[in-house]
Structure 1
Amino acid sequence: MEHPPTIQIANDTDLGILVDILSDSFSTDPMFNWVFPQTELYPHFFHLLVKKVYLPHGIVHMDERDRAAALWLPPAERLEVAPRLGLLRFGIRLVGKTGGLRALSRLYRQGRVFEKHYPREPHYYLQFIGCRSADQGQGIGAALLKDGLAICDNRGMPAYLECSNHRNVPLYQRHGFQIKAQQVVGKNGPMAWFMWRDPR
């Protein structure tokens, strides 16, 4: 019988592995596929986000076998736009791959909707949690959630996330998250669920 997943804190040396895990795990995500249909862009996006935002300012969990990862921001850190030069390069790459501004428009609309629902009160923000497609359904995501939420509970802080895959909503609900709102992003775009969890 396989032992439960062991969760550890990631560091700068894990950057490449984290990018690979998250790019794979979000390759079939409805929101990502709507905004960025070209999955080859995902490593560029996650490299920018993990290196510039989460490793220096956040809490990055991964399982010891490099199958899953979670990116948290603590209450003191408000998610700001990553360095402008990096975003500019990503935007140029995005336009070049898509052949137009459609993806940038979708990214803007998605950002507006998410910002509208983003809570103002202090909380831990789980922006991304993902498991490699070949390793899903084995309880690794639940183990990642448990470790992250233990930090929230120990510090008496709520947690917040946005979910863009309906299959994951029950998982979050089992861990105490409640749906505060849901909204379709863009015309004929995907649904997003905005979920909040009070500390236990």
Structure 2
Amino acid sequence: MAEISAVEARTLLARAFVHDPLMVWFFPDDDARPHACAAMFGVFAEHYLADGRVDVVRCPEPVAVAMWQWPSEQGGTAARSDELPTIGGLMTAFMGAGRAREVGATMKGMEDLRPAEPHAYLHQLGVHPGARGRGFGGRLLDRGIADARSAGLVACLDTTNPANVPYYEAHGLSVRHEFPLGADGPTVWAMATG
């Protein structure tokens, strides 16, 4: 598997997700969104690089990245209490305390949609906008799904982008749940293999 730095990962993921319905709901200001996304994804990248599984395609720069949680790591990507910034702290700084609490409470329901059995959870799959349509994301997705199957695990993910649902279905995942994020938020499609 190729290497990637936290800076490369956060920049790639921010560019990949800047127009994602969830990110637009989180950060409605078009000018601030890329920076807010990069800060948030940077925290995730640091933790996945330390405690998770990160798969990368480089050409020679990173063009696609996938960040997975495996059963032994689930819960391991949360920030340590003495490290800053935390996701909650960033969300409060970007959204204000009231909206961050509301969004956090709404997002909590997503965890209940994951399979009860041991699973590999794809938290992030991002492809640089200039590299889309060349199979890079599919290669990382298929590799993770195959490794999950070999380990006897269900592979699962959540998406808020309706265009991604048929893409993931073509790679062997199916919708298990649809979950609206509040009255004004996007719909989440919880998908899994098997």
Q: With the length of structure 2 as denominator, give the TM-score of the two structures.
A: 0.86
- How far did residue 160 of structure 1 move? 0.9
Residue 84 of structure 1 aligns with which residue? 81
Equivalent residues, number = 187
Structure 2 CA distance for partners of 1:30 and 1:147, relative to 1, 3 Å: same
Select which of 44, 47, 56 maps to 1:49. 44
When residues 47 and 28 of structure 1 are mapped into structure 2, their CA distance, relative to the original with a 3 A threshold, is: same
Gaps of 5+ in 2: none
1:145 and 2:138 matched? no
Deviation of the 1:25 alpha carbon: 0.6
Residues 67 and 132 of structure 1 are in contact (CA less than 8 Å); yes or no, is this contact kept in structure 2?
yes
Deviates more, 1:150-159 or 1:25-34: 150-159
Which residue, 112, 117, 123 being the options, matches 2:119?
123
- 2:102: which partner in 1? 105
CA contact (8 A) 2:117 2:154 kept: no
Give matches, 1:1-200, under 5 Å.
Answer: 8-10=1-3, 14-37=5-28, 38-39=32-33, 40-52=35-47, 54-65=48-59, 66-79=62-75, 81-86=78-83, 90-99=87-96, 101-110=98-107, 112-198=108-194
Quote how far apart the aligned CAs of 1:93 are. Answer: 4.4
Secondary structure at the aligned position of 1:113 is classed as: helix
Deviations 1:71-130 (A, max 9, x none): 0111212135322344665544444444553144213312x2212212221011101101
CA distance in 1, matches of 2:143, 2:170: 14
C-alpha spacing 1:77/1:130, structure 2 compared with 1 (3 Å): same
Question: Which 10-residue stretch deviates more, 56-65 or 86-95?
Answer: 86-95
Letter paired with 2:26: V
User: Separation in 2 of the partners of 1:115 and 1:167?
Assistant: 22
Contact 1:36 1:103 in 2 (8 A): no
TM-score (norm 1): 0.84
Root mean square deviation of aligned Cα: 2.0
Higher helix share: 1
Q: Distance in 2 between matches of 1:87 and 1:180?
A: 35
Q: Percent identity?
A: 28
Shift of 1:36: 2.9
Which consecutive residues of structure 1, in runs of 5 or more, have no partner in the other structure? 1-7
